Structure 1
Amino acid sequence: MVGTSPVGLHRVIEPVGVLPQAAQRLDSRPEIGPDEVRVRVERLNLDAASFRQLADKHGGDGAAVRTEVLEIIRTRGKMHNPVTGSGGMLIGTVEEVGPDSPLGLKPGDRVATLVSLTLTPLAVADGLADWDGRSEQVPCAGHAILFGRSIAAVLPDDLDPQLSLAVLDVCGAPALTGRVVRRYDRPVTVAVIGGAGKSGSLSLAAARRAGAVRTVGVVPTDAERERLAAAGLADEVALADARDPVALAAAVGAALGGPADVTVVCVDVPGCEHGAVLSTAEGGTVIFFSMATSFAAAALGAEGLAADVTMLIGNGYVPGHAAYALELLRGEPAVRRLFEARLAAD
């Protein structure tokens, strides 16, 4: 393969001229160009919003979910949910490295990709036969292609690969949360909507480490409230439906004594934008770290509320984010217990 692009333009089949993430279809052939890397795929991790949408669509029918995921990959040459617009990430073993690849990988490295499956050429060879369609983590045999500007992390030897995959899937959330909290020149309060989930629990730990004076984790069920309270990752745990703006703002206000300076949205359902804005103090910051977020709803909702807040969309990348998230997992036993319990339940 000649004339490769470091951002993968040469892999776009249609429409020509767009980047791989925006493409309808990618070329997933295994032959690599001089700056590409081919990975033998072992496991996919579907992002939470995508998996929830598929599971809800098919009423929890795992076989139907598996069939649709296979069809998406077959027709698009990547895992790119057409409804949520999101994908996930993968782990695997490096098979071949082009001579001009700048990624620093070598054959035999076990890696996790830190770029979305929505822009990663992917082919499945086993029909996902070992996946029951009922969990975000998908055992898989196939191959994927990394570009010159892709990002991947070599998996650490001291952690179970499935645990590493779960952490690295959301590693941008705690890194961005910590960065935002540290930028304030005063102690701030932080609300994490979806605090008992993967990105939520890591974001709570990151906020505390970054100097947040008080934190609240907001969850939708009594079971999650008990789980997060037992973990001790938040100063307060509040129960509220994030899709109910008034109830969410009231819950955050009661827990913190007023709206939060920083609100982090980590839930995987749509309709949480207005509640997040309403829960945030004037001059505060809202971080939307969910693929279910609607930019229009967030922007127009804030305008309609006359809310003077800065809104950030977490793009999943902050320099050093993978190492930071893994260090949080190692250094925060409560976070690790939550992740391991989630994996056991799946």
Structure 2
Amino acid sequence: MEKGCPFGTHRVIEPVGMLPQAAKKIDNTMQIRSNELLIDVQTLNIDSASFTQIKKACEKDISKMEKMILDIVNERGKMQNPVTGSGGMLIGTIKEIGPDFPDKSLKIGDKIATLVSLSLTPLKIEKIKKVNINNDQVDIDGQAILFESGLYAVLPNDIPEKLALAALDVAGAPAQVAKLVKPGNTVCIIGGGGKSGVLCSYEAMKQAGKDGKVIVVEYSEENAKRIKDMNLAHHVIVADATKPVEVYEKVKEVTDGEFCDITINNVNIESTEMSSILITKDEGIVYFFSMATSFTKAALGAEGVGKDITMMVGNGYTKGHADLTLQIIRESEDIRNLFEKLYV
């Protein structure tokens, strides 16, 4: 059995020399190399920005969405939305383990969640069984390949599989909040009512402590009420994050003009960069977790308003992110109940 590149470059078809994530097309032949895993896939969790784009393009028509997803995978060998560039993740059962795969503790039959993007994961879909239009999940019959360098988590026994999948899909966000937020900080979560936003709000409240302040900006009245009812913020602002001056004025009011030490952007639509930038103090931090973020808009926008801030691109991985996120589900009965209602 031949050994492949740890990063999967042996599967890149076009353009040659790229890594799988940046490639337009990869080889999704489900015959593993000696350092790969073969997974029987149960459910895809499509990235929120990607799923929103697909839903909008197909006018929420399930049959059109199914065709669009199949066309993307058949054309590219992976689930990478050509508009957003993003993917998602999956859960499935290990079917075959290459003899050179580094983790010798894994067993055939183990259920895992991949923690690397579908935008680089070789995937073959035999059948789409169900598109869950309200939670970004797609049940399929199919298979996928995980490279030697690919991250994954064995699914825990005490959390339902689809709940774990939903939480792990955004595990990088609350884990980065845990690293960034210090006691006494003023933190704003833009898009705090969604899946990643709820987890980030919980972790921000925990890390900022009794002397800190957590603000959530949310477009949806329903999501805003949910945050209030769950006591996940000190202030909840209903506002449109694509209108930066509106957000600026409302955050200015609740912070007495002091603004925020750290802003976390979880919004799954475009053009929310300037709201994040305007409400952040000089020498503060903006963490863009959203895959809808434009580097150009953020960089030139901050320069244009004279903001000396640190802007971080949302890396979906940070050490310990899976364990931290699953621990939130265990700690918070409210979040667990909410996620079970939405995703299980």
TM value normalised by structure 1: 0.95
CA, structure 1 residues 142+269, in 2 after alignment: closer, same or farther (shift >3 Å)?
Answer: same
Name the CA shift for 1:287/1:108 in 2 (closer, same or farther; >3 Å): same
Structure 1, unmatched stretches of 5+, are none
Q: Is the 8 A contact 1:193 1:263 kept in 2?
A: yes
- Three-state SS of the structure 2 residue aligned to 1:125 is strand
- Contact 1:233-1:334 within 8 A present in 2 as well: no
> In structure 1, what is the Cα distance between the partners aligned to 2:267 and 2:338?
16
What residue in structure 1 maps to residue 186 of structure 2?
189
**Equivalent-residue separation in structure 2 for 1:163 and 1:134 (angstroms):** 14
1:241 maps to what in 2? 240
Structure-2 residue corresponding to 1:93:
93
Which residue pairs with 1:118 in the alignment? Answer: 119
Q: What is the CA–CA distance in structure 1 between the aligned matches of 2:342 and 2:267, rounded to whole Å?
A: 15
- Using the TM superposition, name which of 225-234 and 112-121 deviates more: 225-234
Q: Structure 2 CA distance, aligned partners of 1:94 and 1:116?
A: 18
Asked if 2 retains the 8 angstrom alpha-carbon contact of 1:55 and 1:134, the reply is no
Q: Secondary structure at the match of 1:178?
A: helix
1:332 to partner: Cα distance: 1.5
Deviates more, 1:77-86 or 1:207-216: 207-216
Bigger Cα displacement from structure 2, 96-105 vs 128-137:
128-137
Report the equivalent of 1:262. 262
CA distance in structure 2 between the partners assigned to 1:277 and 1:236 by the alignment = 19
The C-alpha deviation readout for 1:211-268, integer Å capped at 9, x for no partner, is: 3511011110221211111011111111110100001112222233331110000010
Q: Structure 2 vs 1, CA of residues 264 and 134 (structure 1 numbering), >3 Å: closer, same or farther?
A: closer
Deviations 1:291-326 (CA, angstroms, capped at 9, x unpaired): 000000000000001101100011100001000000
Structure 2 CA distance for aligned equivalents of residues 4 and 322 of structure 1: 27
State which drifts further: 209-218 or 289-298.
209-218
Q: 1:38 to 1:173 in 2, by over 3 A?
A: same
Following the alignment from structure 2 to structure 1, what is the Cα–Cα distance between the partners of residues 308 and 337?
38
Question: What is the identity, as a one-letter code, of the residue corresponding to 2:10?
Answer: H
SS at 1:21 equivalent: coil
Q: Distance in 1 between matches of 2:239 and 2:132?
A: 31
Distance between the aligned counterparts of 1:38 and 1:252, measured in 2? 48
- The question of 1:56 aligning with 2:56 is answered yes
Alignment of 1:66-85 (within 5 A): 66-85=66-85
Cα deviation for residue 205 of structure 1 reads 1.1
* Whole-angstrom distance in 2 between the partners of 1:68 and 1:123: 14
Specify the code of the residue in structure 1 equivalent to 2:253.
Answer: A
CA contact (8 A) 1:3 1:10 kept: no
Q: Spell out, residue by residue over 1:260-294, the C-alpha distance to the aligned partner (whole angstroms, 9 max, x if none).
A: 11000001000000110001111110000000000
Paired AA for residue 91 in structure 2: I
- Number of residue pairs aligned between Structure 1 and Structure 2: 340
Change (3 A) 1:337 1:196: farther
Offset at residue 135 of structure 1 (A): 4.3
Cα deviation for residue 3 of structure 1 reads 4.2
Distance 1:64 1:133, change over 3 A: farther
Aligned residue number for residue 202 of structure 1: 199
Aligned to 1:205, the other structure's residue is in SS state helix
Judge conservation of contact 1:65–1:133 (CA < 8 Å) in 2: no
Rounded to whole Å, the distance in 2 between the matches of 1:203 and 1:307 is 24
* Identity among equivalent pairs (%): 44
Shift of 1:151: 0.5
Distance in 2 of aligned mates of 1:304 and 1:130: 46
Counterpart CA distance in 2 for 1:76 and 1:251 is: 44
Deviations along 1:159-205, whole A, 9 cap, x unmatched? 111100000000000000110114xxx62100000111111111111
Residue 309 of structure 2 aligns with an amino acid whose one-letter code is V
Q: 1:200 & 1:256 partners in 2: Cα distance?
A: 20
> Could you tell me whether the CA contact under 8 Å between 1:30 and 1:143 is conserved in 2?
yes
Q: Which residue of 2 aligns with 1:164?
A: 164
Amino acid at match of 2:121: T
- In the TM superposition, what is the alpha-carbon distance from 1:133 to its structure 2 partner? 5.3
For 2:208, the equivalent position in structure 1 comes to 211
Deviates more, 1:217-226 or 1:194-203: 217-226
For residues 20-35 of structure 1, what are the structure 2 equivalents within 5 Å? 20-35=20-35
Q: Which residue of 2 aligns with 1:250?
A: 249
Distance 1:244 1:167 in 2: 29
Task: Give deviations 1:63-99, integer Å, cap 9, x for gaps.
Answer: 1111100000011110000000001000000001111
Q: 1:287 is matched with which residue? A: 287
RMSD: 1.3
What secondary structure is seen at the aligned counterpart in 2 of 1:341? helix
Give the counterpart letter for 1:109 in structure 2.
D
